[in-house]
Amino acid sequence: MPGYLLIEEKMLKPYRINGFDPNPVRMGILDYMRELRQEVFPFNNREQRLRIVGLEDVLLAADRNIMEVSLFIRKILTSRANELEANLGWVQVIFRRSLKRGDDFWFEPGGNRRVSLRPIFGSPIKESDRDGNEYYRIGFNLT
């Protein structure tokens, strides 16, 4: 079952010799969201391997509206979950900062702050492949 792979940038090649191969189609999160909001589903090729970037920047820019923005993102992602599952393989969501999971699922932008990803992705379990590359896997339905 395909879905989202949440990956820290440092786990990708060329940053890590045996790292993940980055998916070839790079798309910003806002462009991805705009495409998902189209009436006609924009992705229809399982070979179209997407790499989504910029989620951290969007959440940081949201500032005090972060919960509203996070829930809006989740709503758009889940609204197209069935079509994504039928038409796409694993979509990589790349993070420049380290992902952490404990009582929450978050990244730290600095200044002793946490930005929660739980409203969007829930609380996924950290996994690692045979080369020690760490990632979080979530189905397109975000459960």
Span 92-142, pLDDT tens digits:
999 999 999 999 999 999 888 999 999 999 999 999 999 999 999 999 998
pTM equals: 0.94
What is the tens place of the pLDDT at every residue in 53-72?
Answer: 999 999 999 999 999 999 99
AA identity, residue 98: S
Q: What pLDDT, on a 0 to 100 scale, did the predictor assign at position 47?
A: 66
Q: Are 54 and 73 in contact (CB under 8 A)?
A: no
Q: How confident is the model at residue 51, as a pLDDT?
A: 97
Residue 21, C-beta contacts closer than 8 angstroms, at least 6 positions apart: 12, 13
Burial of 118 (0-12, 13-18, 19+ CB in 10 A): middle
Residue 46 pLDDT > 80, yes or no? no
Q: Three-class SS of residue 127?
A: strand
Name which of 100, 113, 130, 48 is nearest 121 in CA terms. 100
CA 10 to CA 123: how far, in whole Å? Answer: 21
Residues in the chain: 143
Between residues 2 and 143, the one the model is more confident about? 2
